[in-house]
Structure 1
Amino acid sequence: METIERRDTPRGELVLRRDEQTGRYEIISNGTFLMDTSDGRSERLLVTEALAARTAPRRLLIGGLGVGFSLAQAVADGRLTEITVLEREPVVLEWQRTHLSRFSGDALADPRVTVLVADLVRWLAADAPADRYDAICLDIDNGPQWTVVPGNAALYDVAGLTAARAALAPGGTLAVWSAAAVPAFEATLGELFDQVRVLPVEVARGEPDVVYLAHRAA
């Protein structure tokens, strides 16, 4: 793997690497694999299934820009009129505008897209707008049990999920990406939401990725 860039952030080191043979990019956070460009099926499913419950979804919130797969899927949905992306790391936004732009299809240029450089946990607790979202898609970590930084755990506890639910319009759906099944997280969702679905997505190696869908009744 070729190291393209290495950046220090307040939360540690982020590294962008590329496989010279395949052209695959990956992002490493503090020595831990975070994401890559090899597939993207589960990231796209995160968006399509979150929006499926609404006949005319307009407003979507994406937590985590990543390599751009989820954003590309959102931009492809012509029903959406507003797509807000929260990304905490400015360098990830920079990489999306340079090395990774083709994986989102240059979706950042879409006039419906607004990117906010902000911490999602704090934003939901204090700064979320009064107009609520038809769907919220979270792809912040490798999963509720495998957070990139310790502070992210607050997004997956009762308080964090309650804040996410409050930002949903009635009839809206919260979708959460995970690198593995987390039964305890599923149980917490079941206590806070009216309906929960679990969608496994097979991967080439290891456990399936999992998309959790938590629906708020109308």
Structure 2
Amino acid sequence: MNYVELARAETERGELVLRERRPGGDDLDDAAGAPTALELRANGVFVMDTVEVSTERALAGAALAVVEEPRAVCVGGLGLGFTMHEVLADSRVETCAVVELEQALVDWMRDGTIAHGPALLADERVKVVVADIAIAVAEARPHTYDLVLLDVDNGPGYLVHETNATLYEQPFLEQVRAMLRSGGALVVWSAAEAPELATALGAVFDDVGADALDVRLNDRDEQYWLYRGRVAAGS
């Protein structure tokens, strides 16, 4: 594979890099049939790419399926926009607030460095907030959202930033519950099974569950997880 850097930003949390993977290089067998893809890395750690996006879409689908009227949705983490795209594909959604920590990533989406970004952000239902999700949740008005989707790390075991550990613990989850309307839900994406997250969700929400997702990534089988917590109707 050949890698072409498209954009780089230095932040107080470290380095954010957007690069393009192109077929080529010495290993022609590996290059044959491989698609060109965008890849996002934070401090050298792979965050996501545009090849395997089924789980980002499944994150939105799982949440949308358990809420009868998902009129107002909050997405924690912009990424490359695929979770947000799936949310906006649901005609029941009236507003979608996306909370993203990195201004540079929002800029790349807006200015077309990420080619599909401008069209996604042009949707009048979208509001992008550049902030730490922990602060945004703490400052949110109670009973504002029907859905909260959290995809800011590769799960509690694979943090992009160590300070994100609190996002998977009971105090933060209680704040998320306070944001939700009756019947609302939180869904969290994880790259691995996270029983401690399931336990924390169970202490806060009325109904919890976990779904394993089998995916094929870079010619190997992987299993990702979606964890959900729901507020009972009438609560």
Instruction: Please name the residue that 1:215 is paired with.
Output: 230
Contact 1:176 1:211 in 2 (8 A): yes
Is 1:64 equivalent to 2:64 in the alignment? no
CA distance in 1, matches of 2:106, 2:162: 22
Higher strand share: 2
Deviating above 3 A after TM superposition, structure 1's stretches of 4 or more consecutive aligned residues are: none
For 1:17, which of 19, 25, 33 is the aligned residue? 19
Instruction: Please name the residue that 1:180 is paired with.
Output: 192
Is 1:78 equivalent to 2:91 in the alignment? yes
Is 1:94 equivalent to 2:104 in the alignment? no
Contact 1:89 1:117 in 2 (8 A): yes
Q: What percent identity do the matched residue pairs reach?
A: 40
SS in structure 1 at match of 2:136: helix
Q: 1:109 Cα shift?
A: 0.5
Contact 2:77 2:150 in 1 (8 A): yes
CA distance in 2, matches of 1:166, 1:78: 25
SS in structure 2 at match of 1:17: strand
SS in structure 2 at match of 1:140: coil
Q: Supply the AA of the counterpart residue of 2:158.
A: W
Contact 2:20 2:38 in 1 (8 A): yes
Runs of at least 5 residues in structure 2 that lack an aligned partner in the other structure: 24-34
By relative contact order (CA 8 Å, sep 6+), the higher-ranking structure is 1
For 1:55, which of 46, 62, 68 is the aligned residue? 68
Q: Normalising by structure 2, what TM-score? A: 0.87
Q: Supply the AA of the counterpart residue of 2:135.
A: R
Residues 83, 69 of structure 1: alpha-carbon distance in 2 compared, 3 angstrom cutoff: same
Contact 1:68 1:100 in 2 (8 A): no
Q: Which has the larger radius of gyration?
A: 2
Q: 1:53 Cα shift?
A: 2.0
SS in structure 2 at match of 1:137: strand
Q: Supply the AA of the counterpart residue of 2:215.
A: V
SS in structure 1 at match of 2:183: strand
Q: Supply the AA of the counterpart residue of 1:3.
A: E
Contact 2:142 2:178 in 1 (8 A): no
Contact 1:18 1:24 in 2 (8 A): yes
Equivalent residues, number: 216
Runs of at least 5 residues in structure 1 that lack an aligned partner in the other structure: none
Is 1:144 equivalent to 2:135 in the alignment? no
Q: CA RMSD in A?
A: 1.4
